Amino acid sequence: MMKIFKIFILTIFIFNYSNILIANPKSNIIEEINSSDNLKFNFVQKSFNKEEKGICYLKRPYYLKCEYNDKNQKELIVNRKKLVIYHKRYKKIYNYPLSKSYFNEILNDKKFEEMINKGIIKKEENTFQINCFLKGKGEIVFYFNSENFDLKGWDLISFNNNKIIFKIHNSVKNPGIEKNFFNIPQIN
């Protein structure tokens, strides 16, 4: 009976200790993300069976501009409540509902913090992986560097059921970006 009791106590200790270890990376990740208002980074995006590369500029809350290195000179722009894809080459703008994308949560400090806290975390080699599920949007998996807690990218299923893998490289914190940089072009 004493042996069973010791095993029970040891199991409770291990379970509680592992929760403490996992909770700390989440708070470190949130602290790291909240320590910068602006980010500039290179990206590689895989979707629709093709790979695209470019550079993104992020200003929290609610501003994002990703410039793709492609023949259409594509830009993804989030400006507060709007999400557009702009093809400079053809001077075409395509509007998308921001509410159906993950950008509302990623670009908002409080919503992002809530997603991270509610997410399921696990560690793989030099990466923390946090799986989050949002009602009406599906699942998104974030990847963070386990040493400095920098965001390394995410995998998601988009609102139109396409898998998107987004990897971040060479991020620079607080590069000083003005809000007018995120203005949506006016097309006549």
The CATH fold of domain 2-182 = outer membrane lipoprotein receptor (LolB), chain A (2.50.20)
| Structure confidence at residue 159 as a pLDDT band (50, 70, 90) | low
- Does residue 22 have a pLDDT over 80? no
Nearest Cα to Cα of residue 121 among 30, 42, 11, 36: 30
Pairing of β 82-87 and β 92-96 = antiparallel
- Does residue 145 have a pLDDT over 90? yes
Residues 6+ apart with CB under 8 A from 110: none
Q: pTM, whole model, 2 decimals?
A: 0.81
Read off the pLDDT of residues 112-143 as tens digits, 9 standing for 90 and up.
999 999 999 999 989 999 999 887 788 899 99
Per domain, the residue ranges of the chain are: 2-182
99 DSSP 8-state letter: G
| Structure confidence at residue 160 as a pLDDT band (50, 70, 90) | low
